[in-house]
């Protein structure tokens, strides 16, 4: 499988288990690795035969900004599900960063990474 990678997609979301997170929101950052066969697109120089990463980026940021969930695990799954609606995408790796997580000690980032494919 070939890979198309998008790094650093950012959007404000209201995800989390604490009331403050739901009310104030925070920035979430997402990295994607889309696994697909790019040969058909390359052979015909045809955008319709690959994953349109601009559209996928817009859809992913809409998921982040959309309906709140408690867990970043759930958010990552929703993002993976959205990516897999694209016919060319066979598998996807999703990393959700929550750099402003409500942790009481110094830290750089909290992430979850999931890998999903077509069932």
Instruction: Using DSSP, state whether 29 is helix, strand or coil.
Output: strand
Looking at the annotation, which residues are catalytic? 98
- What are the phi and psi torsion angles at 110 (to 5°)? -125, 130
Angle between helices 53-65 and 72-83 (to 10 degrees): 150
Q: How many CA atoms lie within 13 A of 92 on its CB side?
A: 27
Chain-centroid distance of CA 4 in Å reads 13
């Amino acid at each position: 499988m070939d890979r198309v990678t998008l790094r650093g997609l950012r959007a404000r979301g209201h995800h989390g288990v604490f009331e403050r997170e739901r009310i104030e929101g925070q920035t979430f950052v997402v990295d994607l690795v889309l696994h697909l066969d790019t040969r058909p697109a390359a052979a015909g120089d045809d955008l319709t035969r690959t994953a349109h990463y601009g559209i996928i980026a817009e859809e992913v940021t809409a998921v982040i900004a959309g309906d709140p969930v408690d867990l970043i695990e759930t958010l990552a799954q929703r993002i993976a599900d959205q990516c897999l609606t694209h016919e060319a995408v066979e598998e996807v790796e999703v990393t959700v960063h929550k750099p402003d997580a409500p942790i009481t000690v110094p830290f750089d980032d909290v992430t979850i990474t999931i890998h999903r494919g077509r069932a």
